[in-house]
Amino acid sequence: AQSVTQLDSHVSVSEGTPVLLRCNYSSSYSPSLFWYVQHPNKGLQLLLKYTSAATLVKGINGFEAEFKKSETSFHLTKPSAHMSDAAEYFCVVSDRETSYDKVIFGPGTSLSVIP
Amino acid sequence: DGGITQSPKYLFRKEGQNVTLSCEQNLNHDAMYWYRQDPGQGLRLIYYSQIVNDFQKGDIAEGYSVSREKKESFPLTVTSAQKNPTAFYLCASSIGIGPSSGNTIYFGEGSWLTVV
């Protein structure tokens, strides 16, 4: 069965410093992995996705994530945090279970950016 | 521009009332979804639909109902049987039945439902 663990419920960084949001997953099949961002009272926006191509995935707004199969991880990083990055971030895993796709959302990590 | 439109943004429900949340998409997507999000928590799947006139229960379908009479529309009714309906509701869609083959799920802006 699939599962997603976001190791930190809350992360706080200073503006201009690196961001690391951690995600570990379990999957019986070759998964697709996604990171979404949600600003307050808004829907979810796709940041980036991994679908068995390059293991280092670049997304929007300077974010990137690396798929590490041996560690079953898909951590999200950004070299320099901006105030506008403050939001909720969700790691998502999907693979083919029986005859349909099953999508699992992680519990989310709240990112605060300190001026 | 293509996208998903949810309405209303804010809705208040009295005890014992049924209310319907609208979701329309012009992305020509086959699959549509409804998720519930409680404050400070992740998303839980209520219902999903792979194709017109077909829909399946998700993890928390009790107290909810849906219809899929048109490809672009997937309304969600919150019935009086749902005892704790106050939450943020998100509608979503994707080209196929899910993103395992790389199909991204696109989300609407959400609807807040509050019981008064």
Nearest-by-CA chain B residue for A47? B104
The token duo for A21 is 């949001």
Give pLDDT, residue B99.
54
- The pair phi, psi for residue A89, each rounded to 5°, is -120, 135
Cβ–Cβ contact B10 with A under 8 A: no
Chain B: give the shortest CA distance to residue A32, in Å: 5
Those residues with Cβ within 8 angstroms of residue B6's Cβ, 6 or more apart along the chain or in another chain? A43, B21, B22, B23, B89, B90, B91, B108, B109, B110, B111
pLDDT tens-digit readout, B44-78: 999 999 889 999 999 899 999 999 999 999 999 99
Mean pLDDT, rounded, of chain B: 90
Q: Are A53 and A66 contacting, i.e. CB atoms less than 8 angstroms apart?
A: no
The token duo for B28 is 């020509």
Burial bucket for residue B2 (CB in 10 Å: 0-12, 13-18, 19+): exposed
pLDDT of residue B112 exceeding 50 = yes
Give pLDDT, residue B37.
93
pLDDT tens-digit readout, B74-94: 999 999 888 889 999 999 998
pLDDT tens-digit readout, A8-39: 999 999 999 999 999 999 887 778 899 999 99
pLDDT tens-digit readout, A56-92: 999 999 999 999 999 999 999 999 999 999 999 999 9
Who among A32, A100, A108 is closest to B97 (CB)? A100
